[in-house]
Structure 1
Amino acid sequence: MFMNRRSFLGASAAAASVIAITGCSRGGGGGGGVTFLIDNDPSAVAGAEALTEAFNSSQEEYTFSVDTRPGGTEGDNLVKTRLSTQDMPDVFVYNSGSLFQAIRPTQNLTDLSDQPWVSRLQESFVPAVSAEDKVYGAPYGGASAGGIMYHRPTYEKLGLEIPRTWDDFIANCQAAHAEGVTGIIQSFGDTWTSQLLVLGDFHNVAANNPDFAEQYTAHQIGFATDPNALRGFEHTAEVCSSDFINEDYVSATYQQAIGYVAAGEGAHYPILSSAVAEIAASTPDLVEDLGFFAIPGEDAAKNGLTIWLPSGMYVPAFAENPDAALAFIEFVTSQEGLDILAAEAPPTGPYMVTDVDLPAEVPTATKDLQVYFDTEGATTPALEFLSPIKGPNLENILIELGTGSIDAKTAAQNYDKDVEKQAQQLGLEGW
């Protein structure tokens, strides 16, 4: 999963109980039976079942089955409970980044630093699954990005170029509006989507202050006190008060929003790149009308993309079949394994292993992301992969901002207060 939208932004948990697809819930030994735990998103389940079937057919020593868990907060709590009670299957998929740190990897997980695939990892992924200089996870699937999904035919008709500065982006929104196309879509009906112009802007923050994540974690700087970090809040206020936003932006849902852009009713939508995969599945005849670019900053020379790293595959420290778990992870990180996964769950961005390319048949909008990965210095992991601090109320704060209840500076100050409790719970110095 990519970082799917529930885990990426902490949206409401999926209301589902844990359902065993096949096999038992524990990675039990004896007889070679091993369980692979994945979240219950349908595409995630389909990919996991294809992988276990292929792995089972490739050897005779182990037999893997799939078990599922809810997403969101419910799933987070379940993972923590099963680790604490030592009732976790021998291989499981969970978030990388700040949520990975919250499951106490040095205590609960197996050190995978000596595994052969570690040398093939993209450099940007390693810190997201590491603790105390040891690697505890392998990437599951591809990366994704936060940026702007746009309607390519509108750009072609109006002769617009991909903007590399915020001012150019606003000019493109206005040009589309002048031709009867909504300049920018927002979808506050699904509150998690309100956060893209802030969280997806982190490349621009880091490009101007490379030490922001470190200073932020040490409580030396905040969103309200750094002018670069404040801009995401200012941009949110700007687009929501504009005449080129969709009239129903307060009530519009995520599904409506991606439909607006796919159909050409809207020119731009700040969103995760996973939206492209959803359109490819629901309206494949429209997916090639879409493109994707980074949220522009103030300086064209520093233009780049904020990326969300994929979830990790982990082995509990108490695994009953560690050899089977390691063999399975090696298979999943191979070209064969990732090709199988892509056939059931199309990647939303480049893989985090250096020697596996995206399939040739991915949508153009997904290929657009590769350009940033191929350009030195043009990608930055989202802040949650560089700092353990992420407040739970950002989406609600941005709804207040976007509906005019508070101004940008107040919103940023409120978010800086929001993260304090989490930082204190983590025992971070300076908080």
Structure 2
Amino acid sequence: MKPRRLSAVAAALMAATLTAACSSGTNAGSGGKDTLTIASVDQGSIEPVVKAFEAANPGVKVNLTTSGADQHQQQIRTQLSSGTAPDVMSVWPGNGNPGATYVIAKPGYLLDLSDQPWAAQLPDAFKRLAQYEGKTYNALFGLNGIGAVYNDEAVSKAGLTPPGTWTDLLAFCRAAAGKGTPAFALGIQDNWVTQLVLYALVATEVYGTDKDFDTKMQSGQATFAGSPWANAMAKYQEMNRAGCFQKSPLSTSYEASQTLAATGKALGVIQGNWVIALLKQKNPNGTFTMKALPATDDAASFLMPAAAGMGYGVNAKAKNKELALKFVNFVMSPEGMKLFNEAQGSLPTLPTAATTVDPGLTELTTYVKDNRTVPFMDQLWPNAKVQQTMLSGLQEIFSDQATTDEVLKDMDADYKAGS
């Protein structure tokens, strides 16, 4: 199969992201012996953690840089290879993207954290995503899920109720669109957002009938093309045709989608649970509830994507290694985890954290407790290219430059290439 050309849309978005990255002017790698440098994508939730860390360590100054996921992933490998990376950085679990544990631990960019007190306490499901070749490199503090997050007041004002089946979902979208308010804000100008609706559908559509699908993929017994992944992608497009999203999702950013959902210009957003804290920042008086996104008419079969969220790794060549270790251990302490989980709206990975869970996450908590979840699909894929092909491919589908079958076949080609 011929390699896919980067679409005009994807190329433009990448150019914009690179421009933003180059214009930030932040040298995250600089700092004195009492200065810690951190690069994070946890905008809105890391700030109280940093403030508490500084308060617990008088004289310590944290130089914090925050950015979007796309920008961070593009920058961090370059910074690590050039020796300009920060002491501590956002690192994703598993192997799904350029900033994931396996990808940046393999070349030796991350410090081994196996001897830190919390490493042995991570549950096995999280431990394997925090490790590379048996060594722990990622401080995974939170469990995240993906679903439909509703603006309760906006839904009530529209005279609607959150849908409980696939048929109800399409009717909900049409009714919302008929009232001039889209059901869900979709900000796929940031290409990482394209996967979330798909993952929410794939959880039920693929794994609801075959929880061993990943194992079959790994053994070559299954492929993306010709599998229920095609059904999930088709339903994603059907949602778009039914008016589930606002006009021009490709020209809407992640932050703009938050504003639409927070202010009631959309009835909700399909996102990770972390978005609830961001919506509350934009609308402090609002209430927001996460529910499973219906993918079939059998509610008993619904599953939700839920897995360890992004954590923190330490630069193997950190200028202030001691302070960096002190910070990640603070993040994984009961106090730090409680702060982070509550600010982010995530669930704790360790039982020692006395985290108060947002009431809007009751359904996610129940799904986790009842073992009705599946991992984020990319976390155990053999390389980061599969996800990148999927993300750019979904943007091409939305701009009518590619078909579902083409994108899935290209994902298969990348998957078969291995690690």
Q: CA deviation at 1:106?
A: 7.4
Distance in 2 between residues matched to 1:70 and 1:258, nearest whole Å: 16
* Residue type of the alignment partner of 2:170: I
> Are residues 416 and 52 of structure 1, via their aligned partners in 2, closer, same or farther at CA, if it must alter by over 3 Å?
farther
Contact 1:45 1:68 in 2 (8 A): no
> Are residues 322 and 250 of structure 1, via their aligned partners in 2, closer, same or farther at CA, if it must alter by over 3 Å?
closer
Contact 2:338 2:353 in 1 (8 A): no
1:269-310 CA distance string (max 9 Å, x none)? 32333332222112212x21x211122233422322213532
Distance in 1 between residues matched to 2:110 and 2:404, nearest whole Å: 37
The aligned runs of 1:64-75 (5 Å cut-off) are: 65-68=62-65, 71-72=68-69, 75=72
How many corresponding residue pairs? Answer: 395
> Are residues 179 and 340 of structure 1, via their aligned partners in 2, closer, same or farther at CA, if it must alter by over 3 Å?
closer
2:19 is the counterpart of 1:19: no
2:132 is the counterpart of 1:134: no
Distance in 2 between residues matched to 1:87 and 1:247, nearest whole Å: 41
**Aligned counterpart, 2:270:** 270
Distance in 2 between residues matched to 1:301 and 1:35, nearest whole Å: 48
Q: CA deviation at 1:382?
A: 0.7
Distance in 2 between residues matched to 1:186 and 1:78, nearest whole Å: 25
**Aligned counterpart, 1:348:** 345
**Aligned counterpart, 2:223:** 222
Contact 1:19 1:67 in 2 (8 A): no
1:300-329 CA distance string (max 9 Å, x none)? 223222135322222344557655544432
Q: CA deviation at 1:233?
A: 0.7
* Residue type of the alignment partner of 1:306: P
Q: CA deviation at 1:90?
A: 4.7
Structure 1 consecutive aligned stretches of length 4 or more whose deviation exceeds 6 Å = none
**Aligned counterpart, 1:5:** none
**Aligned counterpart, 2:378:** 384
Contact 2:36 2:320 in 1 (8 A): no
* Residue type of the alignment partner of 1:353: L
* Residue type of the alignment partner of 2:294: P
* Residue type of the alignment partner of 1:267: L
Distance in 1 between residues matched to 2:333 and 2:345, nearest whole Å: 18
Distance in 2 between residues matched to 1:178 and 1:40, nearest whole Å: 36
Distance in 1 between residues matched to 2:64 and 2:188, nearest whole Å: 33
> Are residues 416 and 105 of structure 1, via their aligned partners in 2, closer, same or farther at CA, if it must alter by over 3 Å?
same
The aligned runs of 1:297-376 (5 Å cut-off) are: 297-298=295-296, 299-307=298-306, 309-317=308-316, 324-341=323-340, 346-359=343-356, 362=358, 364-373=359-368, 375-376=369-370
**Aligned counterpart, 2:4:** none
2:390 aligned to 375, 386, 394, which one? Answer: 394
**Aligned counterpart, 2:208:** 207
Distance in 1 between residues matched to 2:371 and 2:360, nearest whole Å: 20
1:234-262 CA distance string (max 9 Å, x none)? 11111122256544555444444444433
Contact 1:121 1:353 in 2 (8 A): yes
Segments of 5+ residues of structure 1 without an aligned counterpart are 1-8
The aligned runs of 1:137-176 (5 Å cut-off) are: 137-140=138-141, 142-153=142-153, 158=159, 160=161, 163=164, 165-176=165-176
SS of 2:208's partner is helix
> Are residues 282 and 183 of structure 1, via their aligned partners in 2, closer, same or farther at CA, if it must alter by over 3 Å?
closer
1:97 aligned to 82, 94, 97, which one? Answer: 94
> Are residues 189 and 81 of structure 1, via their aligned partners in 2, closer, same or farther at CA, if it must alter by over 3 Å?
closer
TM-score, normalised relative to structure 2: 0.77
> Are residues 187 and 137 of structure 1, via their aligned partners in 2, closer, same or farther at CA, if it must alter by over 3 Å?
closer
SS of 1:201's partner is helix
Segments of 5+ residues of structure 2 without an aligned counterpart are 1-12
The aligned runs of 1:190-201 (5 Å cut-off) are: 190-201=190-201
**Aligned counterpart, 1:241:** 241
Contact 2:114 2:120 in 1 (8 A): no
TM-score, normalised relative to structure 1: 0.76
Contact 2:147 2:273 in 1 (8 A): yes
SS of 2:224's partner is coil
Q: Decide which moves more: 235-244 or 184-193.
A: 184-193
* Residue type of the alignment partner of 1:381: P
Distance in 1 between residues matched to 2:251 and 2:319, nearest whole Å: 49
Q: CA deviation at 1:185?
A: 4.1
1:102-125 CA distance string (max 9 Å, x none)? 113473433333432134434432
> Are residues 324 and 191 of structure 1, via their aligned partners in 2, closer, same or farther at CA, if it must alter by over 3 Å?
closer
> Are residues 218 and 391 of structure 1, via their aligned partners in 2, closer, same or farther at CA, if it must alter by over 3 Å?
farther
Instruction: Let me know the Cα RMSD of the aligned residues.
Output: 3.7
1:316-346 CA distance string (max 9 Å, x none)? 4455765554443222211222344467xx2
* Residue type of the alignment partner of 1:420: A
Distance in 2 between residues matched to 1:12 and 1:108, nearest whole Å: 24
1:135-193 CA distance string (max 9 Å, x none)? 222125x3333221223246557573651x42332243345456665444444555543
1:292 aligned to 270, 290, 302, which one? Answer: 290
Distance in 1 between residues matched to 2:245 and 2:323, nearest whole Å: 52
Distance in 2 between residues matched to 1:133 and 1:281, nearest whole Å: 39
Contact 1:183 1:266 in 2 (8 A): yes
